[in-house]
């Protein structure tokens, strides 16, 4: 009977169940009643169909699959007529359930925002939320109702190309930014036509791939998983994230797609997740390569048993689940539950009422979207060095040089399917539009270019310019999925070009657009100022102009430590102290005499050639202006119970010559615990915007629950004892502004 109602009028069914008319009745919510009504009347085959996600193929084939009820979701199809035909076939045939249209909308749909790593550098979650909202509005206007974003993988290894797609190395920053992205995509109400479902990926540990090689095995012990890799995913669940994606990696021998501990025990049973989990691309089938499943049927059994609801493109569920159920290897209830999880999200998305793509051209590249992308790019730029060359003061003649100075495709960054380079504003265009006298001599045509034949022209041009702006870094294709590198120096002949430009004797402003921290150690001396813009997106050129001109003061802070060289990796700030912590006064390579006798040298944990610390620390970034911190206070020094709260207040004054923003960062150290704890952990931050001369009182709260950690018996505990808490402008000790001790009783 229910089936007939859906067939005739899905709306009628919604009204019926909403007022208690569904067949389950009782104390169930309208949503539960609806989901039960729909799924309980489906055949096993129809339920399996919902668990199947397909990629675009011939429209006839897709239409057929949808009409057979064998397509729960589709990805990579963007032709609107095709989507309409597919949706029509799905809703007009049993079981009359709309197809969920999905796409990788990672840092913008048409209007491209900085890559997520760049967005993290803004230290401004509101920008991330707003950018994701805009992405949702634009994507939904082409019928997309589900994005595979945000990526919440903690990345401590910049060789891993996918570091570009996440929010860096820190669990707290990633949790805050990830939750903001989820809220942006999903809006206040998932059923709003402009909302799209978010997907927290890749669940879990994918960023810890051995040696930074994509897809590689991870070896994350349970406590580290709990304390570092899982928190952003938990924050996403708390933010109401509709879906999760299982990751490609096998952690300590168990591929995530077949890992019941994470997909069911933790995600559903501990965190109460009610949405659905999709596999990564063919990752059900890849369990065969892992040597974890004998064949596709075995893989299907392992995945569904672990709690994986939807199979992305492997067809394992479609081809084998029915047999597995009839052979008694998989209980039908498992399939029913997975189907309910998927139908629930479709219900929440309002798909049963509005299933056809609603198309609107006006919202794409809307002026306010471009404005937001510009603002985000400005806030994401991190100034790493400035000897006074920035902002440009009396520079009239600019030599613009380097492979990314006019690279409309590459400045957009990785994972851009829909943003068009014709809309990109490059540095060349923007500088000219701003009225600068620009001499453009790229000297290198793309980032890997080794052809130095134009260097002499560039050197000559530099001599007759007031200032040189070099824009280099990485092409977009050098980071992202499967684009890992073992050498993170500037590619091609870029370093040599910087040296040539420096020798010309004019100030060299080095602007880097890249998908990851690059090892620019040897380039620093050739630059008077360094502005790290990551891949800044559509409005990168305008952002650059506003930054170098001084209209906007740089305020980004590094979301990941920058290594001195690739051999120093991993070098992340929140490490443990070790039994032999580095003192900072270690003997380095140059200080070791020839024929030195056997010695343990500094006897601490460091490298002879790079020392201990990174090139630039997590949380670091300069400004054109200066800030004074004063009047520090803490609400008390003894705390008890996880509902207690640490409140730190202080005053910040802009004492320099420019308007600007500083990111006040709160770090905590648990001095003695039942397991060794990191020497510092970010637990709070606030970006404070101050006009020249302005002063503001700031309060940052850290709930005591933030001091909890997973201890010896895999239980989250708040341990009594001493903690240090401090306010800083980066994770480096030199940037500590105030430090105090507290006691948890």
Contact call for residues 639 and 668 (beta carbons, < 8 A): no
Least spacing, CB of residue 392 vs ligand BGC, in Å = 40
d(CA 634, CA 699): 9
Measured CA to CA, the distance from residue 264 to residue 633 in angstroms comes to: 44
107 binds ligand BGC (CB under 6 A): no
Q: Specify the residue for token string 């004054």.
A: 653
Minimum Å gap between C-beta 480 and ligand BGC is 9
Candidates 104, 311, 418, 528; binder of ligand BGC (CB under 6 A) is: 104
Which of 129/201 has CB closer to ligand BGC? 201
Q: Which is nearer to ligand BGC, 116 or 678 (CB)?
A: 116
Q: Which is nearer to ligand BGC, 243 or 491 (CB)?
A: 243
Comparing CB distances to ligand BGC, the nearer of 198 and 498 is 198
Q: Which positions ≥6 away from 380 have C-beta within 8 Å?
A: 114, 118, 119, 121, 122, 533, 534, 536, 556
- Contact pick of 183, 201, 506, 683 for ligand BGC (by CB under 6 A): 201
Question: What is the DSSP track for 535-554?
Answer: S--TTHHHHHHHHHHTSS--
Catalytic residue among 280, 298, 309, 418: 280
Nearer to ligand BGC, 71 or 390 (CB): 71
From 510, 521, 515, select the one nearest 474 (Cα to Cα). Answer: 515
CB of 467 to ligand BGC, least distance (A): 41
Nearer CB in complex with ligand BGC: 148/620: 148
Q: How many residues does the chain have?
A: 745
Report, in Å, the least distance between residue 48 CB and ligand BGC. 21
- Residues with Cβ within 8 Å of residue 227, at least 6 apart in sequence: 171, 709, 710
Distance CA 54, CA 147 (A): 15
- Cβ pair 542, 374 in contact under 8 A: yes
Residue 215 interacts with ligand BGC (CB under 6 A)?
A: no
Site for ligand BGC in 27-46 (CB under 6 A): none
Q: From the CB of 147, what's the least distance to ligand BGC, in Å?
A: 9
Question: What's the CA gap between 590 and 604, in Å, rounded?
Answer: 17
Among 280, 406, 528, 670, binds ligand BGC (CB under 6 A): 280
Shortest Cβ 460–ligand BGC spacing (Å): 46
Please report whether residue 265 would count as binding ligand BGC according to CB under 6 A: no
* Nearest distance, CB of residue 174 and ligand BGC, angstroms: 16
The reply on whether position 148 binds ligand BGC by CB under 6 A is: yes
Other CB atoms within a 10 A radius of the CB of residue 191 amount to: 14
To ligand BGC, the closest distance from the beta carbon of 233 in angstroms equals 14
Q: Given the complex with ligand BGC, which of 36 and 280 has the nearer CB atom? A: 280
Beta carbon nearer to ligand BGC, 319 or 481: 481
Q: Which is nearer to ligand BGC, 371 or 481 (CB)?
A: 481
Active site residue 280: yes
The answer to whether residues 404 and 472 touch, using CB atoms and an 8 Å cutoff, is: yes
Instruction: List binders of ligand BGC among 57-96 (CB under 6 A).
Output: none
> If binding is defined by CB under 6 A, does position 532 make contact with ligand BGC?
no
Query: In terms of DSSP bridges, do strands 736-744 and 721-728 run parallel, antiparallel, or are they unpaired?
Result: antiparallel
Q: Is 452 exposed, middle or buried (0-12, 13-18, 19+ CB in 10 A)?
A: middle
75's enclosing H/E stretch is: strand 73-75
Min dist. Cβ of residue 51 to ligand BGC (A): 17
Angle between helical axes of 367-380 and 540-549 (0-180°, round to 10)? 50
* 103 contacts 145 by C-beta, under 8 angstroms: no
Cis status, amide bond into 570, omega within 30 of 0: yes
* One residue of 109, 203, 276, 281 binding ligand BGC per CB under 6 A: 281
**Tokens found for residue 672:** 């003695």
CA distances from 692 to 123, 181, 471, 686 (A): 21, 31, 29, 18
Q: Which is nearer to ligand BGC, 213 or 329 (CB)?
A: 213
Name residues contacting ligand BGC, limited to 295-334 (CB under 6 A). none
Residues 446-485 touching ligand BGC, rule: CB under 6 A, are: 481
3-state secondary structure string across 174-235: HHHHHHHHHHHHHCCCCCCCCCCECEEEEECCHHHCHHHCCCCCECCCHHHHHHHHCHHHHH
Cα 102 from Cα 187, distance rounded (Å): 17
Q: Structure tokens of 36?
A: 């039960």
DSSP H helices, 367-524, are 367-380, 427-433, 455-463, 494-503
Q: Count residues contacting ligand BGC (CB under 6 A)?
A: 6
Closer to ligand BGC by Cβ: residue 75 or 725: 75
- Alpha-carbon gap, residue 246 to 206, rounded angstroms: 9
Contact 358, 351 (CB under 8 A): no
Residues 377-396 that bind ligand BGC (CB under 6 A): none
Q: Which residues contact 666 (CB under 8 A, 6 or more apart)?
A: 648, 682, 683, 684, 685, 700, 702, 725, 726, 727, 728
Tell me the C-alpha distance between 650 and 318, whole Å: 59
* Shortest spacing between CB 358 and ligand BGC, in angstroms: 23
**What does the per-residue mask of binding to ligand BGC show for 485-514, with x meaning CB under 6 A?**
------------------------------
Q: What is the spatial distance between Cα 287 and Cα 50, in angstroms, rounded to a whole number? A: 22
- The residue among 148 and 650 lying less far from ligand BGC, judged by its C-beta, is 148
Least distance in Å: CB of 478 to ligand BGC?
17
Q: Report the 3 state secondary structure along 279-345.
A: CCCCHHHHHHHCCCCCCHHHHHHHHHHHCCCEEECCCHHHHHHHHHHHCCCCCHHHHHHHHHHHHHH
- With CB atoms as reference, the residue minimizing the distance to ligand BGC is 148
State the minimum distance, in angstroms, from the CB of residue 75 to ligand BGC: 6
Could you list the active site residues?
280
Residues that bind ligand BGC (CB under 6 A): 104, 148, 201, 280-281, 481
């Amino acid at each position: 009977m229910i089936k007939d109602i859906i067939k005739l009028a899905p709306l009628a069914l919604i009204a019926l169940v909403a007022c208690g008319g569904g067949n389950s009745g009782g104390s169930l919510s309208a949503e539960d009643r609806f989901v039960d009504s729909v799924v309980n009347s489906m055949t096993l085959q129809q339920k399996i169909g919902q668990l199947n996600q397909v990629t675009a193929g011939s429209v006839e084939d897709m239409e057929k699959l949808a009409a057979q009820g064998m397509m729960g979701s589709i990805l990579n199809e963007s032709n609107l007529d095709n989507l309409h035909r597919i949706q029509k076939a799905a809703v007009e045939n049993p079981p009359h359930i709309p197809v969920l249209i999905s796409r990788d909308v990672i840092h913008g749909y048409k209007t491209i925002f900085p890559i997520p790593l760049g967005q993290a550098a803004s230290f401004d979650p509101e920008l991330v939320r707003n950018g994701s909202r805009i992405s949702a509005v634009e994507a939904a206007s082409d019928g997309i109702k589900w994005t595979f974003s945000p990526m919440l993988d903690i990345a401590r290894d910049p060789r891993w190309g996918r570091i570009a797609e996440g929010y860096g190395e820190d669990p707290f920053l990633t949790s805050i930014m990830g939750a903001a992205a989820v809220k942006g995509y999903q809006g206040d109400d998932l059923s709003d036509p402009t909302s799209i479902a978010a997907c927290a990926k890749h669940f879990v540990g994918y960023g810890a791939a051995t040696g930074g090689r994509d897809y590689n095995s991870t070896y994350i012990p349970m406590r580290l998983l709990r304390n570092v890799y899982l928190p952003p995913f938990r924050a996403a669940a708390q933010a109401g994230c509709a879906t999760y994606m299982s990751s490609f990696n096998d952690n300590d021998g168990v591929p995530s797609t077949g890992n019941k501990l994470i997909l069911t025990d933790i995600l559903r049973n501990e965190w109460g997740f009610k949405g659905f989990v999709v596999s990564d691309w063919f990752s059900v089938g890849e369990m065969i390569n892992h040597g974890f499943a004998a064949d596709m049927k075995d893989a299907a059994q392992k995945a569904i048993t672990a709690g994986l609801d939807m199979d992305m493109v492997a067809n394992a569920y479609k081809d084998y689940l029915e047999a597995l159920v009839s052979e008694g290897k998989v209980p039908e209830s498992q399939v029913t539950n997975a189907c309910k999880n998927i139908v629930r999200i479709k219900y929440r998305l309002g798909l049963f009422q509005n299933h056809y793509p609603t198309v609107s051209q006006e919202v794409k590249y809307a002026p306010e979207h471009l404005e937001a992308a510009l603002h985000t790019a400005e806030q994401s730029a991190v100034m790493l060095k400035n000897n006074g060359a920035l902002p440009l003061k009396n520079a009239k003649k600019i030599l613009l040089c380097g492979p990314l100075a006019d690279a409309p495709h590459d400045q957009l960054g990785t994972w851009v399917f829909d943003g068009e380079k014709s809309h990109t504003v490059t540095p060349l265009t923007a500088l000219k539009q701003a009225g600068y006298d620009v001499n453009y001599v790229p000297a290198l045509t793309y980032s890997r270019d080794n052809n130095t034949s134009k260097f002499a022209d560039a050197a000559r041009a530099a001599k007759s310019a007031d200032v040189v702006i070099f824009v280099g870094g990485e092409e977009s294709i050098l980071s992202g999925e499967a684009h890992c590198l073992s050498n993170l120096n500037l590619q091609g002949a870029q370093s040599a070009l910087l040296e040539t430009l420096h020798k010309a004797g004019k100030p060299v402003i080095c602007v880097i657009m890249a998908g990851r921290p690059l090892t620019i150690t040897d380039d620093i001396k050739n630059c008077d100022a360094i502005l790290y813009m990551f891949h800044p997106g559509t409005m990168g050129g305008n952002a650059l102009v506003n930054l170098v001109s001084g209209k906007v003061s740089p305020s980004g802070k590094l979301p990941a430590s920058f290594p001195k060289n690739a051999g120093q990796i991993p070098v992340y700030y929140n490490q443990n102290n070790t039994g032999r912590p580095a003192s900072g006064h270690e003997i380095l390579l140059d200080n070791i005499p020839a024929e030195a006798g056997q010695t343990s040298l500094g006897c601490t944990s460091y490298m002879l050639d790079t020392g201990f610390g990174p090139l630039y620390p997590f949380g670091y970034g300069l400004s054109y202006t200066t800030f004074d911190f004063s009047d520090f206070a803490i609400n008390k020094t003894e705390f008890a119970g996880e509902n207690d709260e640490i409140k730190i207040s202080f005053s910040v004054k802009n004492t320099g010559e420019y308007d600007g923003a500083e990111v006040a960062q709160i770090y905590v150290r648990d001095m003695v615990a039942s397991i060794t704890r990191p020497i510092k952990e970010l637990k709070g931050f606030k970006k404070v915007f101050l006009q020249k001369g302005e002063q503001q009182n700031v309060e940052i709260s850290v709930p005591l629950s933030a001091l909890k950690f997973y201890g010896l018996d895999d239980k989250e505990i708040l341990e009594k004892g001493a903690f240090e808490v401090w306010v800083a402008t980066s994770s480096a000790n030199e940037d500590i502004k105030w430090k105090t001790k507290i006691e948890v009783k």
